[in-house]
Amino acid sequence: MNGVVLVDKPKGITSFDVVHRIRRLYHMKQVGHTGTLDPMATGLLPICIGKATKIADYVADNRKAYVAHAIRGIRTDTFDISGVIFANSAKEIPKNLEPVLDHFRGEQLQLPPMHSALKYKGRKLYEYARRGICVPRKERPITVSCLKLLDHDDNGISLEAEVSSGTYIRTLIDDIGVASGCYFTMDSLRRISVGSETIANAHTLAEIESMSNDERQSILIPMDRLLDHIPEICLPLHRKKPMLNGMSSRVHFQIEEAAMYRIYTGGDFIGIGTVTGSGEEKELHIKKVLY
């Protein structure tokens, strides 16, 4: 059994909790998620089953969209409502927040929060943070391709953001709060899309638990649907066996320049590969077999 189930993660459990429950429901050991959602967050969590676990890292590189709400006037050490307040502001939310938001649209650098699972010298940052230790962190390039103010009142704001992988929404919100002078701390977060897949296609855990085994299998989507951000190369059927055996294939036709490609032979998705050479000397090599 290979494929991806789109789960609408509830609040209050970890992404690994979801993996554990899907593993039990599908009677499969090979199960993994494609990008952590914190316990306080809800929304779209693609869960990979079987060979689809091999694509998790590629899906995690895809763009994601969120709707978040933030309260005005405080900053916390975690940049969300679960943390300890360390700063306050009595300043009101600017009547026109667009100039501030515009500053955070596009490509930029973001400093990861101390309360995160990134590692420093083999230990997760939040382990240091819980001991009151702040360690050096490097800013990372991110892209905020869409940032909309959905609603606001005297007490807070609601935002929609589409961002590149590795972007911390709570950090983005904290930075917006500092730039506006009134401080914002995230108190809710919902992921609404991963690539072209949206929350509208997801199922709650309760729904999945109530299904028969056949129904659970019917909601699995093909793994390549979550890889549509990677360009494809289609080869004739007779190249399937050689490619699966590790042989390269000459690419005589024009292709989009990219770091990696989805490989199809005779219409079947067989894996992810790279291209070397140029002009008439281009060679396609399979790096991840998924057939």
Judge whether residue 279 has pLDDT over 80. no
> What is the tens place of the pLDDT at every residue in 94-117?
999 999 999 999 999 999 888 887
Query: What is the fold, at CATH topology level, of the domain defined by 232-289?
Result: 2.30.130
Percent of the chain with pLDDT strictly greater than 70: 100
Read off the pLDDT of each residue in 228-246 and give the average, rounded to a whole number.
92
Looking at the structure, give the CATH architecture of the domain made up of residues 3-62+196-226. 2-Layer Sandwich (3.30)
β-pairing, 156-163 vs 140-153, is antiparallel
Confidence class of residue 123 from pLDDT cuts 50, 70 and 90? confident
Listed in order, the ranges of the chain carrying CATH 3.30.2350.10 are 3-62+196-226, 64-194
The distance from CA 27 to its chain's CA centroid, rounded to whole angstroms, is: 25
- Its pTM stands at 0.89
Domain boundaries 64-194, CATH class: alpha beta
Listed in order, the ranges of the chain carrying CATH 2.30.130 are 232-289
Confidence class of residue 119 from pLDDT cuts 50, 70 and 90? confident
Residues with catalytic annotation? 38
Tell me the average pLDDT of the chain: 92
